[in-house]
Amino acid sequence: MTAQRQERKARRRGIALIAVIAGVLGAFSASGVARANTTERVVANRYTGVAISGYDPVAYFTDKQAKLGSPDIEAWQAGAVWRFCNAGNRTYFIERPDIYAPQFGGYDPVDVGRGVAVPGNSQIWLISGQRLFLFSREESRDAFSADPARYRGEAQQRWPKLLDSLVQ
């Protein structure tokens, strides 16, 4: 074998080794990407981790409207970043996230009742039974408000199994 051929063979082995390493690293990073793209337990932006599109969950109760929170007033809870309009709302949320966080992680309860995790829209909401619900469409909100006991019951029945299927 000539010296030139030996060099090419060595170069090819080096390239093959680099390709294998890149493939292994790519598989690890791809699993990270897949995880980031997978539905989470709380509706949050896959890139920033901000829950419910940055809306203040407490403002639905106190101001009776959807209000964007400030990036300067945040809290980390349930694997997501929550934003608030003021420090008081942040304090309320930290003390009682079970009350102020949207039910079913911010997923549409009508769809959860069907066994499907469809993210709710922060602008289509309803407070029922002193709890916040987000809906993917107005038709879901209207159906839920007409018979909240039925839809809440169906969602509560299916939520544990659905929750197990979501990324932790």
Average pLDDT along the chain, 168 residues, taken 10 residues at a time: 63 56 42 36 91 97 97 94 97 96 96 95 96 97 97 96 81
> Is residue 43 a part of any domain in this protein?
no
pLDDT score recorded for residue 165:
86
pLDDT score recorded for residue 91:
97
Query: Residues 2, 57: one domain?
Result: no
Query: Residues 59, 141: one domain?
Result: yes
Beta bridge partners, 167, equal: 40
> Is residue 130 a part of any domain in this protein?
yes
Query: Residues 18, 76: one domain?
Result: no
Query: Residues 17, 100: one domain?
Result: no
- Structural domain range at position 26: 1-37
Query: Residues 13, 67: one domain?
Result: no
Query: Residues 10, 87: one domain?
Result: no
pTM: predicted TM-score of the whole model, two decimal places: 0.75
> Is residue 45 a part of any domain in this protein?
no
Domain count, the chain: 2
> Is residue 14 a part of any domain in this protein?
yes
Query: Residues 28, 78: one domain?
Result: no
Query: Residues 20, 93: one domain?
Result: no
Identify the CA nearest to 87 among candidates 69, 98, 102, 73. Answer: 73
pLDDT score recorded for residue 166:
81
**Beta strand ranges found along the chain (DSSP E):** 70-77, 80-84, 121-128, 131-135
Identify the CA nearest to 77 among candidates 61, 100, 60, 59. Answer: 100
Query: Residues 148, 86: one domain?
Result: yes
Ramachandran region, residue 2 (left: φ > 0; alpha: ψ -120 to 50; beta: rest): beta
Query: Residues 155, 72: one domain?
Result: yes
Query: Residues 31, 112: one domain?
Result: no
> Is residue 68 a part of any domain in this protein?
yes
pLDDT score recorded for residue 40:
73
> Is residue 42 a part of any domain in this protein?
no
pLDDT score recorded for residue 17:
47
pLDDT score recorded for residue 78:
87
Query: Residues 60, 139: one domain?
Result: yes
> Is residue 126 a part of any domain in this protein?
yes
pLDDT score recorded for residue 153:
96
